[in-house]
A and B are shown apart, each in its own frame.
Chain A
Amino acid sequence: MNVGLFIPCYIDQFYPRVGLATVDLLERFGATVDYPEQQTCCGQPMANTGCQDDARVVAEHFLQTFKDYEYVVAPSGSCVAMVRHHYAGLFGTDARVEAMAKKTFELCEFLTDVVGVEQVEGEFPFRVGLHNACHGLRELRLGNPSEHMAQPFNKVASLLAGLRGLELVELSRSDDCCGFGGTFAVSEEAVSCQMGNDRLADHESAGTQVLASADMSCLMHLGGLARRQNKPLAVMHVAEILAGYEVPQPSPARS
Chain B
Amino acid sequence: MSHATAAREFIADSQRTKWHDETIWFVRHKRDLAAASVPEWELLRSTASAIKRHTLSRLDEYLEQFEQNAIRHGIKVHWARDAAEHNEIVLKLLKEKGVTNIVKSKSMLTEECGLNPYLEAAGIEVVDTDLGERIVQMRKEHPSHIVLPAIHIKKEEVGELFHEQLGTEAGAADPNYLTEAARNHLRDKLLNAGAGLTGVNFAIAETGGIVVCTNEGNADLGTALPPIHIASMGIEKLIPRLEHLGVFLRLLARSATGQPITAYSSHFHRPREGQEMHIILVDNGRSGILADEDFNRSLNCIRCGACLNTCPVYRRSGGHSYHATVPGPIGSVINPVRDPAKFESLPFACSLCGSCSEVCPVKIPLHHQLYALRGVIAERGLLPLSKRAPLWFATAVFRRPWLYRAGGRMARMVLRCLPRALVYNRLNPWGRQRELPVVPEQSFRRAYADRQAKRSK
Contact = CB atoms under 8 A, between A and B. Distances in A.
B25 A253 contact: no
A190 B4 CA distance: 8
Contacts of A39: 401
Interface size class for chain B? 35 or more
Interface string B317-337: 100000000000000000000
Contact of A48 (B313, B358, B374, B437): B374
Contacts of A225: 433-435
A253 to B, nearest CB: 5
Nearest to B400: A40
B17 interface: yes
Contacts of A179: 312, 351
Interface stretch (A14-22, A104-112, A113-121): A14-22
Interface stretch (A49-57, A122-130, A160-168, A206-214): A49-57
Chain B contact residues, majority secondary structure:
helix
Given A138-B355, A183-B387, A224-B434, A19 B444 contact: yes
Given A181-B351, A186-B429, A189-B429, A198 B435 contact: no
B391 interface: yes
Contact of B391 (A15, A45, A224): A45
B397 A40 contact: yes
Nearest to A24: B451
Nearest to A149: B41
Contacts of A253: 435
Contacts of B312: 176-177, 179, 195
A17 B440 CA distance: 9
Interface string A179-214: 111111111111111111010000000000000000
B232 to A, nearest CB: 31
Contacts of A145: 354-355, 358
B447 interface: yes
B230 to A, nearest CB: 37
Nearest to A226: B435
B176 interface: no
B383 interface: yes
Contact of A50 (B42, B377, B444): B377
Interface in B26-46: 32, 35-36, 38, 41-42
A79 interface: no
Nearest to A85: B368
Contacts of A185: 430
B52 interface: no
Interface stretch (B261-269, B278-286, B404-412): B404-412
Contacts of A134: 351-355
A14 B432 CA distance: 19
Interface in B83-115: none
A9 B404 CA distance: 9
Interface string B438-453: 1110111111100100
A149 B42 contact: yes
Interface string B359-384: 10000000000011111111100010
Given A11-B444, A194-B316, A45 B351 contact: no
Interface size class for chain A? 35 or more
Contacts of A188: 3-4, 7, 313, 348-349, 351
B351 A49 contact: no
A157 B36 CA distance: 22
B241 interface: no
B445 A12 contact: yes
Which of A35, A175, A185, A186 has the largest count of B CB atoms less than 10 A from its CB? A186
A177 B390 CA distance: 25
B434 A193 contact: yes
B358 A147 contact: yes
B401 to A, nearest CB: 5
B291 interface: no
Interface string A64-103: 0000000000000000000000100100000000000000
B395 interface: yes
Given A20-B444, A57-B399, A255-B420, A150 B451 contact: no
Interface string A226-254: 01100000000000000000000001011
A12 B447 CA distance: 10
Contact of B444 (A7, A38, A186): A7
B435 A35 contact: no
A149 B317 contact: no
B385 interface: no
A39 B399 CA distance: 9
Nearest to B312: A177
Nearest to B44: A149
A178 to B, nearest CB: 8
Which of A13, A43, A148, A196 has the largest count of B CB atoms less than 10 A from its CB? A13
A195 B349 CA distance: 13
B422 interface: no
A49 B398 contact: no
B11 A13 contact: no
Given A14-B438, A20-B444, A149-B35, 11 more contacts: A19-B447, A43-B398, A46-B394, A49-B378, A50-B375, A135-B354, A147-B310, A179-B351, A183-B391, A194-B14, A196-B434
Interface of B: 3-4, 7-8, 11, 14, 17, 21, 25, 32, 35-36, 38, 41-42, 310, 312-313, 316-317, 347-355, 357-359, 371-379, 383, 386-388, 390-392, 394-395, 397-399, 401, 404, 408, 411-412, 420, 429-430, 432-440, 442-448, 451
Interface of A: 7, 9, 11-20, 23, 35, 37-41, 43, 45-52, 54, 57-58, 61, 86, 89, 134-135, 137-139, 145-150, 173, 175-177, 179-196, 198, 220-221, 223-225, 227-228, 251, 253-255
10 A-B pairs with the lowest CB-CB distances in the bound complex, closest first: A181-B351, A50-B374, A224-B434, A50-B378, A19-B444, A177-B353, A138-B354, A147-B358, A134-B353, A16-B444
